[in-house]
Amino acid sequence: MMTTQAKARAGEDLSPVAEMKSAVAGFMSEFSVFRAEVYNRLQQQEEKMTMFERKSIALSRPHLAAGADTHAPHRKAFDAYLRGGDDDALRGLELEGKALNTAIAGEGGYLVDPQTAETIRSVLTSTASIRAVANVVAVEASSFDVLVDHTDVGHGWATETGSVAETDTPAIDRINIPLHELSALPKASQRLLDDSAFDVEGWLAGRIADKFARAEAAAFVGGDGLDKPRGFLAHPSVDNDVWTWGNLGYVPTGAEGAIDGPDPIVDLVYALGAQYRANATFVMNSKTAGTIRKMKDADGRFLWSDGLAAGEPARLMGYRVLIAEDMPDIATGANAIAFGDFRAGYTVAERPDLRVLRDPYSAKPHVLFYATKRVGGDVSDFKAIKLLKFAVS
């Protein structure tokens, strides 16, 4: 406003009205200059922002990135290791996430990248296996202990003046579930690995998942516990009327290798304790299911009902049915149907990591991929599972 003030001093002989007009005119002139400068600066800023946006779009980058893809470095390094055995990137890779640790274990090999490991895990979960209904726990040790209190505390009625007698002390059992190494050894030619169009990670995940799923499913049902999980059918079975801890109780069908009616199914359901029936599941293979689903009650109604919605399991007497192909067929003395709360009765313990070791030498010109996973399983509550034995008694 120095110019306006100077004009006012120079024009002291002007009238007040003329002086006011002169001052306002000077102010408006200066304001116009100021507005032009601000407009120019805003225009320049807008041009810079436009250029920045064009560069972002050209590079396919979001304006405000939600977060860096932490899997990408590991995927690139792991892919290089699978295709050409180049482990330099894996050795020098540093990632922030705990699940993306690429340290080398004592037995050799690298942790599979998170996306590949998740693919394998989802296939294992969706496979028709006891895993789908069992209690699955992740452990970091070589074994998992389940503490089971299968006794009851004693009790007594006390009077106001009478003495109180000591009651029995409950006993706690320890069930040890060791982890065993499950392995797969798929192979591919080096020429196939050199083909950039070949999805080596997807192929490897599918082959390993298929092998592991079938091996696990068989072991959880009938595994002998020697270098593999112990299946629930590997435990001794006794008539449910004389059942004791450490055995699985069975209900006989009353016919050798056959079932004459729905009564044994009903007896099997109510042989299981009421505390387990709410979450109970029938387990049988497809052949047995084909026989059972034809059965009707006295009023001509089928005991079997299919799921009303897509993905919903079939039901037998209102209870879920799991089709596990590793269950035995109907035969004389076979325990072809199991019924119980497997989440309480069977525990699957596993280490969450999957390791892959590349071997380009043993099967030239092919490359072997040695994948290992540690898993164990065993019955954790012998009260929670009952069997239907196709025998007279």
Query: What is the pLDDT, as a whole number, of residue 103?
Result: 42
- Of 238, 240, 235, nearest to 222 by C-alpha is 235
Burial (Cβ within 10 Å: 0-12, 13-18, ≥19) of residue 177 = buried
In degrees rounded to 5, what are phi and psi of residue 148?
-125, 125
* Mean pLDDT in residue range 218-242: 95
Instruction: Find residue 230's DSSP bridge partners.
Output: 224
pLDDT at 99 over 60: no
Dihedral sign from CA coordinates of 193, 198, 202, 207: negative
Helices first, then strands: H and E counts in the chain: 11, 17
Q: How far apart are CA 39 and CA 283, in angstroms?
A: 77
Burial (Cβ within 10 Å: 0-12, 13-18, ≥19) of residue 41 = exposed
Q: How far apart are CA 199 and CA 202, in angstroms?
A: 5
- Mode of pairing for the β-strands spanning 135-138 and 346-350: parallel
pLDDT at 60 over 50: no
By the 8 A CB rule, do 262 and 295 touch?
yes
Q: What do you get for the CA distance between the two ends of the chain, in Å?
A: 113
Q: How far apart are CA 203 and CA 227, in angstroms?
A: 27
- Of 203, 187, 190, 205, nearest to 83 by C-alpha is 190
State if pTM tops 0.75: no
Give kind and range of the element (H or E) at residue 336.
strand 335-340
In the chain, the percentage of residues whose pLDDT exceeds 70 is 73
Instruction: Find residue 366's DSSP bridge partners.
Output: 189
Query: What is the pLDDT, as a whole number, of residue 106?
Result: 38
Query: What is the pLDDT, as a whole number, of residue 292?
Result: 94
Residue 1 confidence class, pLDDT cut points 50, 70, 90: very low
By the 8 A CB rule, do 140 and 349 touch?
no
Query: What is the pLDDT, as a whole number, of residue 316?
Result: 94
The tokens for 224 are: 């002998």
Flag the least confident range among 154-163, 173-182, 317-326. 154-163
- Beta-carbon contacts of residue 125 (< 8 Å; ≥ 6 apart): 131, 132
By the 8 A CB rule, do 227 and 180 touch?
yes
Burial (Cβ within 10 Å: 0-12, 13-18, ≥19) of residue 323 = middle
Give kind and range of the element (H or E) at residue 346.
strand 346-350
The tokens for 21 are: 């007009």
Query: What is the pLDDT, as a whole number, of residue 376?
Result: 95
Could you tell me where the DSSP H helices lie in the chain?
2-10, 16-58, 71-84, 88-92, 114-126, 190-194, 200-222, 263-271, 274-277, 286-292, 342-345
In the chain, the percentage of residues whose pLDDT exceeds 90 is 39
pLDDT at 94 over 60: no
Q: How far apart are CA 390 and CA 250, in angstroms?
A: 10
Which tops the pLDDT comparison, 161 or 188?
A: 188
Radius of gyration of the chain (CA): 37
Q: How far apart are CA 22 and CA 7, in angstroms?
A: 8
Query: What is the pLDDT, as a whole number, of residue 56?
Result: 57
pLDDT at 135 over 80: yes
Q: How far apart are CA 293 and CA 303, in angstroms?
A: 7
What's at 257, amino acid-wise?
A: G
Query: What is the pLDDT, as a whole number, of residue 101?
Result: 35
In degrees rounded to 5, what are phi and psi of residue 80?
-65, -35
pLDDT at 235 over 70: yes
Q: How far apart are CA 58 and CA 49, in angstroms?
A: 14
Q: How far apart are CA 289 and CA 334, in angstroms?
A: 15
